[in-house]
């Protein structure tokens, strides 16, 4: 899947990693192999059981979009990392779109 995706400086790759407990998002420039911006649910300092995982994923999407706008990035390529576009991955994507990222 990642063979067909390639992030550049103008349009980096929004990579999503989902574990059983956490969700991470990174904007990657594949030309220079550098991470431009990153966000995770660990940054939100939410207590366990306080908010469900989908709501946290949506907030992570909004946070990555805000950080991307601060770095003057508006368009990205969405890389779901082999996960099904459902649940937390979909919530993260919707949060990022609502906050202004285009993909």
For 20-49, how does the pLDDT look when each residue is reduced to its tens digit (9 = 90+)? Answer: 999 999 999 989 999 999 999 998 877 666
Domain that holds residue 34: 2-98
Kindly state whether residue 29 falls inside one of the protein's structural domains: yes
- Into how many domains does the chain fold? 1
What CA–CA distance (Å, rounded) separates 6 from 20?
27
3-state secondary structure of 17: strand
- Domain annotation covers residue 103: no
User: How many Cβ atoms are within 10 Å of 103's Cβ, its own excluded?
Assistant: 14
Is-contact 95 61, C-beta < 8 A? yes
Task: Kindly indicate the confidence band of residue 1, based on its pLDDT and cuts at 50, 70 and 90.
Answer: low
pTM attached to this predicted model: 0.90
CATH code of residue 81: 3.30.420.100
Q: Cα–Cα distance between 85 and 4 in angstroms, integer?
A: 17
């Amino acid at each position: 899947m990642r063979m067909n995706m390639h992030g550049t400086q103008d349009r980096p790759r929004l990579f999503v990693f989902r574990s059983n407990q956490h969700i991470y998002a990174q904007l990657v420039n594949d030309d220079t192999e550098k991470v431009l911006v990153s966000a995770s649910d660990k940054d939100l300092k939410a207590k366990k059981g306080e908010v469900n995982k989908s709501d946290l994923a949506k907030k992570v999407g909004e946070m990555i979009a805000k950080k991307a706008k601060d770095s003057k990035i508006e368009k990205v390529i969405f890389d779901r990392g082999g996960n099904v576009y459902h649940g937390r991955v979909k919530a993260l994507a919707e949060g990022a779109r609502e906050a202004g990222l285009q993909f």
